[in-house]
Each structure stands twice: as structure tokens, then as C-alpha cells.
Structure 1
Amino acid sequence: MKVVVIGGTGLIGTKVVSKLNEHGHEAVPAAPNTGVNTLTGEGLAEVLQGASVVVDVSNSPSFEDDAVMEFFRTSTTNLLKAEAEAGVTHHVALSIVGTDRLEESGYFRAKVAQEELIKASGISYSIVHATQFFEFMKGIADAGTEGDIVRVPAAKIQPMYSDDVATAVARTAAGTPLDGVVEVAGPEAFQFDEFIRMGLAAQNDPRTVVEDPHGRYFGSELEATSLLPGPDAHIAQTRFSDWLAQQR
């Protein structure tokens, strides 16, 4: 089965391509650096020839509100149109647990818009909602840093390893379309400050982590459980402490 992976040269995409190829599928990475641009449509018709499944794990280069909305609306519209013309029968998209609960955030509003386009396309689909990745811990800390203080939301987070995310996406791509959403999450829920504190300590980072009731996450204030999956989520195996040990 030919599977085209949009964003196939990035953190998750490269892993998805590798896992699908290991299981006997023909996984093709597609990204601007391979000659495929979903914003302009360049290369889409060519790369989708003979494809049964498209996996979209691409992300906006800018998180500014208007830019991220333009990215997801335009790229998803172009991609779905090209898929319909090519006879693709399964569209798989990676999204985020809590997307529909964070309307203050321009980024999450754009992800909601992306999902609505997919659901209305007429193409059978599966949407994978994943929790935040271990790998983005430092970036989150940097975004909340003022001087030597890291301010983080007073909320819980259930992060996961990017390799486990890719496994879930690849498994979904190889399966029957859900015409719905599946959630995947890490095995442990942490208070946000605990997660960041553990990660920074493992890197000998001396910054102080402070819980802020009004701390924002991609521009949105959080409820305590905004980022947690529901009871039917698939739970990955890799623990944060084990991942940190691997990084050393």
C-alpha cells in the first residue's frame, strides 16, 4: 500500500515513514524539501499518484494567529482536493488532545478548522489526537521564561514520547478509517510544573519553575484537565523518566 506522509521529513514524519516501510508499505515522505508544497499545491498531484492513504503530520512554520490559520486552511484544502482527484481513500491527520477546549489560542482554533475541513471532505478519515511530546519540554519552558523564572499553567499534562506518537499514527494509517478521532497519551499525568521541573533538572538547567494560575499555553488559559485525554485513550508505554535517562 502506498502511503504519502505530508511533513514526512520532520520529527514525527520521519518516524512514521520508517515504521510503515518496516511493515511492508510504500511510505513516501512529502515536504517542501522533497518538492511537495501543500500551500502552493506544487508536487501534490505527482506524489499522490497511486496512493491509498495520506498521512498529514505537517505543522505551520509560524504560530502567529493569522498565519497559522492560513497555513492549516490552505494546506488542508489543497491536500484534500488533490486526494479526491487522485482517488485516495483514507486521510489520517495528527492533531492534539484538548484542541476543542482551547478556543483562546489561535493555534488551536486553526487545528479545529483543519479538522472541520477533513470531516466535511467526503474522504474517509482518521484523526489522531496526541498529548504533548517529551521533546517539546524545553521549548515550552523557554516560552514561559522571564529572567530565571519559568511560569507554567496550573494544570495537568500527560506527555508522551514522539516515537510512541509515530507508532500510533502509523498503526492508524495501516488500519481501517475511523471516520472519527482516537486519542493517544503517555502513561503518566503530571502537574505542569512537575513535568517542566523534572525535565530541566535532568539537563542541569538551574531555572526556577513556578506554577501560575494565569499561565498560558499557546495563548490559552487552562483548566486543570484541559490537556488530559479521555478514558478511552490508548496509553503508550514510554515513561518520562526513562526517556530522560535515554537522553543522558
Structure 2
Amino acid sequence: MKIAVIGGTGLIGSQVVEKLNADGHQAVPHSLSTGVDVVDGAGVDRAVEGADAVVNLTNSPTFDDASPAFFRTSMDNLLAAADRAGVGHFVILSIVGVDQVPELDYYRAKLLQEEILRRGPVPYSIVRATQFMEFMEAVMSWTSDGDTVRLPATPIQPIAAKDVAAEVADVAVGTPLNGIRDIGGPDVFPLDELGRLTLSRNGDGRTVVTDPTAGLFAAVKGDVLTDPDARLAPTRYTDWLA
């Protein structure tokens, strides 16, 4: 199969391309660096031409109220091009619990992306993943002040990027789901405890203080970012840290 991977040079995209090509498919990465701009449409038709499937892994440059406009414009451009090219499968990567946190602009934007895909002209699949292990350092940096990191006790089910990429690649070469596949890591941690574990394993002397008002995940109520019924990835967070 020929698969156009839009956003194919990023954290997930580059690994999706590598996995697909290793499995004997023809995966072609596209991004701004290759001349494909999903916002103004430059290079989009060329990118999807001849593709059996399109995997869209592009992301909004911001997490604020500007993000819905990015996903609306980029999806409209990509879906129109995919339809013209006769693409038979369109895949996006979303977030477990994305429809449960309306307080967050970015989550509303990702839900909009899903809705545009569902209403679009191309058979589709949505892969919803839990929070990436690779993002933990960034999460802590948002609320780090000197020797203290403030984190809420929000339940988190961390998944390794390589496991996300493997699932996206698997979905891309399969029959369109016309629905959602949820994937998650094998273990659930309170975010504050995950922070303590991360700092300890990294030899970082900062202290984690539990603060239910701190950071992006303070808006999350309950355990909506976890899913016990998701397809569980093999990599445990402690093994990934090691």
C-alpha cells in the first residue's frame, strides 16, 4: 500500500513512516519541511496523489482558542484533496477522553477534528490514545518553580510514542473502522505520583507538591483520560524511564 503520512516528520509521524516501510508498504512523509502546508493548501494535492490511505498527524501550533481554526482549515483541505484523489482511508490520531473535557480549548478543537472527519467524504478511522510518556517532562515544566513542581492528582494512563505509532500504522493498512480505536498504556498513575516517579528515576531533586489547580490537567474531572477497555500497549512507564 501507498500511505501519505501528513506530519510524517514529527514524534509519532516519523515512527509511523518507519514502521510502515519496515512492513513492506510505501509510506511517504509530508510536512512543512517537504513543501506541504495544510493551512494554505500548498502541496496537499501532490502529497495525497496515488495514496491508498492518508494518515494525518499534523497538530495545531498552539493549545489555545486558535486551535479550532487550524483543525477546521487543515481537515477541510486534506479531506477535499483526498476525495479528489480517490483515497480509500483517512486516519487521524486523537485523545482518549477528548469529548469529556469541554473546558480545554485544545480538546474541543480535537473533537471538532473528529467531527469533520466523520462528516467527510472519505472512509475513516480515529485512533484515540492516552497521554504520551514523552510529554511528562513538558507537563512538569508548565508548573515548575525553582525546586518545586505542582501537579494535580489527575489519573493518567501513559503510553509510549512507539506503541502509538505501531497502532496507527496497523490501523492505516486495515479496513476503515468508520469509528474509534482506543489505545492506552498498561498502568494508571495519579499525575502527581507520576511526577515523583519521573523525578526520582532521573535523579532530579525537585519536589512534587499536589495541587488540584495546577496546569492543564487541573481542568480534568475524574478518570476520563483513562480507559480500562482500551487496547493496552506493552511498554510500562518504569521500563520506558529505564
Determine what percentage of the aligned residue pairs are the same residue.
49
Specify the code of the residue in structure 1 equivalent to 2:104: S
- Asked if 2 retains the 8 angstrom alpha-carbon contact of 1:153 and 1:221, the reply is no
Secondary structure of the 1:142 match is: helix
What TM-score, normalized to structure 2? 0.96
Q: Which whole-Å CA distance do the structure 2 matches of 1:161 and 1:230 have between them?
A: 17
Q: Measure how far apart 1:230 and its partner are.
A: 4.4
Specify the code of the residue in structure 2 equivalent to 1:24: G
Secondary structure of the 1:55 match is: strand
Q: Measure how far apart 1:201 and its partner are.
A: 1.8
Q: Measure how far apart 1:156 and its partner are.
A: 0.7
Alignment root-mean-square deviation, CA: 1.2
Other-structure match for 1:128: 127
Other-structure match for 2:75: 76
Other-structure match for 1:237: 234
Specify the code of the residue in structure 2 equivalent to 1:25: H
Q: How does 1:46-195 map to 2 (within 5 A)?
A: 46-66=46-66, 68-195=67-194
Other-structure match for 2:209: 210
Q: Measure how far apart 1:63 and its partner are.
A: 1.9
Of 147-156 and 166-175, deviating more is 147-156
* CA displacement 1:144-168 (0-9 Å, x = unmatched): 2233321212221000110000000
List runs of 5+ in structure 1 lacking aligned partners: none
Q: Measure how far apart 1:216 and its partner are.
A: 3.9
Secondary structure of the 2:70 match is: helix
Q: Which whole-Å CA distance do the structure 2 matches of 1:141 and 1:2 have between them?
A: 39
Specify the code of the residue in structure 2 equivalent to 1:242: D
Q: Which whole-Å CA distance do the structure 2 matches of 1:120 and 1:77 have between them?
A: 11
List runs of 5+ in structure 2 lacking aligned partners: none
What TM-score, normalized to structure 1? 0.94
Q: Measure how far apart 1:224 and its partner are.
A: 2.5
Specify the code of the residue in structure 2 equivalent to 1:10: G
Q: Which whole-Å CA distance do the structure 2 matches of 1:153 and 1:147 have between them?
A: 18
Of 16-25 and 209-218, deviating more is 209-218
- Asked if 2 retains the 8 angstrom alpha-carbon contact of 1:183 and 1:230, the reply is no
Secondary structure of the 1:65 match is: coil
Change (3 A) 1:39 1:56: same
* CA displacement 1:14-56 (0-9 Å, x = unmatched): 0000101111111000100011111111111112111010001
Q: Which whole-Å CA distance do the structure 1 matches of 2:76 and 2:46 have between them?
A: 17
Of 199-208 and 79-88, deviating more is 199-208
- Asked if 2 retains the 8 angstrom alpha-carbon contact of 1:154 and 1:224, the reply is no
- Asked if 2 retains the 8 angstrom alpha-carbon contact of 1:216 and 1:222, the reply is no
Matched, 1:19 2:16: no
- Asked if 1 retains the 8 angstrom alpha-carbon contact of 2:79 and 2:121, the reply is no
Secondary structure of the 1:210 match is: strand
Q: Which whole-Å CA distance do the structure 2 matches of 1:41 and 1:235 have between them?
A: 36
Q: Which whole-Å CA distance do the structure 1 matches of 2:56 and 2:37 have between them?
A: 12
* CA displacement 1:68-94 (0-9 Å, x = unmatched): 112111111111111111111101000
Q: Which whole-Å CA distance do the structure 2 matches of 1:23 and 1:193 have between them?
A: 39
Q: Measure how far apart 1:58 and its partner are.
A: 1.2
